[in-house]
């Protein structure tokens, strides 16, 4: 998107309604997203107030006006993919909402215990009925592994087995799952690999249901901030939790993992990632409505956090799997919506659908990544390498 288009867009804010529409059409055209076209990713505007809202509020206005029904699109994932490739959000950094959020991030710490508690509960405590309808039977709310799978159930099972293999689990090992969700990984690992587990989360709803689902297994669930974890563990992992840590606390997180992990132990970090380090990197709409107090890390930020603490044994990118996972969640959510409608309402339906689909678009554009990083405390003697399609510990010479 060239500078002249953006300049005319901001100038349009002091002009007429026709100026607003013309400026927005120019911006959308730069991203090859038509307004009023026949393509599935074309935008259909129902209310002309959309144009000024978008110019004034950027991506926040884009999402809010969709929630309000001011526009529609048959393929929001592809629409957002095109916006992402055109770097639309970066063009609105002069937007007042963006500038306020950036100042907040620089002056404050969004990953404090109180902010972390608010961020987790505002999303994960929405309702177990919602997540039960959207997710697979095990309620795994992280990227699946579609390598040889053709259903969400199979892909999530494959992901958990992949994590178990990367951790090189053995019966009797004690495993810490930071941000354990509804306990799906620990349940799988205990049943299939004979481990003992401890899961921690700030979510009241998740911990309550996890205890019921894992009753009778050697697993303890704690409603607890990760910074308060004590003990000694053979293996540590976090799956989709590191985004809630935020960059000012990355080092604190890694020091905690290093402190509770036994010498020679392994840790897996399964996290979203981005190609550029940012202080305030999340989309404005996502921050307000879906994931407050979160930040997606970069390679550099993860590297700085582990510096001097761990040997990085393996780093795998599974980002294309996340697009397919999000679309599967959206299909489940849409299918089960009739039984959820009375409790959540139509505005929530549009909000949640928009969330799932724009995230799918970001992964399709490759703006977002999904990483699994294997870390060892002290290094694996003989190395850590592929053998017969699975990760195994090496043998010291």
Phi and psi torsions of 142, nearest 5°: -145, 170
Q: H helices within 217-370, ranges in order?
A: 250-260, 284-289, 299-306, 319-344, 346-365
Q: Return d(Cα 113, Cα 224) in angstroms, integer.
A: 10
CA 391 – CA 384 distance, rounded (Å): 7
The continuous run of DSSP H or E covering 376 comes out as strand 368-376
Nearest to 38 by CA among 77, 71, 75: 75
CA-to-CA distance for 324 and 74, rounded, in angstroms?
Answer: 17
Q: Residues 164, 180, 214, 359: which is the catalytic one? A: 359
Q: Are 218 and 190 in contact (CB under 8 A)?
A: yes
CA distance 268 to 142: 14
| Residue 76: closest CA among 332, 326, 344 | 326
CB neighbour burial string for 89-104, b if at least 16 within 10 angstroms, e if fewer: bebbeebebbeebeee
Give φ, ψ of 4 to 5 degrees. Answer: -65, -35
Q: How big is the CA angle at 267 (ends 235 and 239), to the nearest 5 degrees?
A: 100
Which residue, among 135, 145, 112, has the nearest Cα to 181 in the 3D structure? 135
What is the crossing angle of helices 17-30 and 49-67, to 10°? 60
SS (H, E, C) 190-246: HHHHCCEEEEEECCHHHHHHHHHHCCCCCEEEEECCHHHCCCCEEEEEEECCHHHCC
Cα–Cα distance list, 38 to 44, 72, 73, 276, 354 (Å): 9, 13, 10, 35, 20
φ, ψ at 199 (rounded to 5°):
-115, 135
Answer yes or no: 73 catalytic: no
| Catalytic center residues | 359
């Amino acid at each position: 998107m060239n500078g002249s288009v953006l300049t005319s867009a901001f100038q349009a804010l002091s002009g007429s309604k026709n100026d607003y529409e013309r400026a927005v059409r120019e911006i959308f055209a730069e991203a090859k997203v038509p307004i009023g076209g026949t393509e599935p990713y074309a935008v259909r505007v129902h209310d002309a107030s959309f144009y000024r809202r978008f110019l004034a509020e950027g991506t926040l206005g884009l999402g809010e006006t969709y929630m309000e029904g001011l526009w529609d699109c048959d393929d929001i994932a592809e629409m957002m993919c095109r916006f992402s490739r055109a770097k639309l959000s970066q063009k609105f950094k002069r937007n007042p909402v963006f500038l306020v959020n950036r100042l907040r991030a620089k002056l404050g710490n969004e990953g404090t215990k109180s902010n972390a508690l608010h961020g987790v509960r505002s999303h994960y405590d929405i309702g177990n009925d919602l997540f039960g309808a959207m997710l697979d039977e095990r309620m795994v709310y992280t990227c699946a592994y579609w390598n040889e799978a053709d259903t969400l159930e199979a892909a999530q099972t494959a992901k958990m087995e992949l994590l178990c293999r990367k951790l090189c689990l053995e019966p009797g090992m004690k495993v810490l799952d930071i941000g354990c969700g509804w306990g799906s990984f620990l349940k799988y690992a205990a049943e299939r690999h004979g481990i003992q587990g401890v899961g921690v989360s700030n979510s009241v709803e998740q911990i309550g249901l996890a205890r019921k689902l894992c009753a009778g297994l050697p697993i303890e669930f704690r409603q607890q901030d990760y910074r308060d974890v004590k003990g000694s563990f053979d293996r540590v992992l976090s799956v989709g939790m590191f985004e809630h840590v935020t960059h000012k606390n990355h080092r604190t997180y890694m020091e905690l993992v290093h402190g509770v992990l036994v010498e020679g132990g392994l840790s897996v970090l399964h996290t979203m990632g981005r190609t550029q380090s940012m202080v305030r990197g999340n989309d404005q709409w996502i921050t307000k409505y879906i994931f407050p107090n979160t930040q997606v890390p970069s390679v550099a930020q993860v590297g700085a956090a582990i510096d001097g603490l761990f040997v990085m044994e393996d780093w795998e990118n599974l980002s294309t799997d996340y697009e397919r996972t999000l679309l599967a969640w959206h299909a489940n959510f849409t299918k089960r919506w009739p039984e959820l409608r009375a409790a959540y309402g139509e505005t929530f339906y549009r909000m949640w659908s928009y969330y799932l689909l724009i995230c799918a678009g970001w992964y399709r554009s490759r703006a977002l990544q999904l990483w699994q990083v294997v870390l060892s405390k002290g290094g694996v003697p003989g190395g850590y390498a592929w053998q017969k399609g699975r990760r195994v510990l090496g043998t010291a010479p």
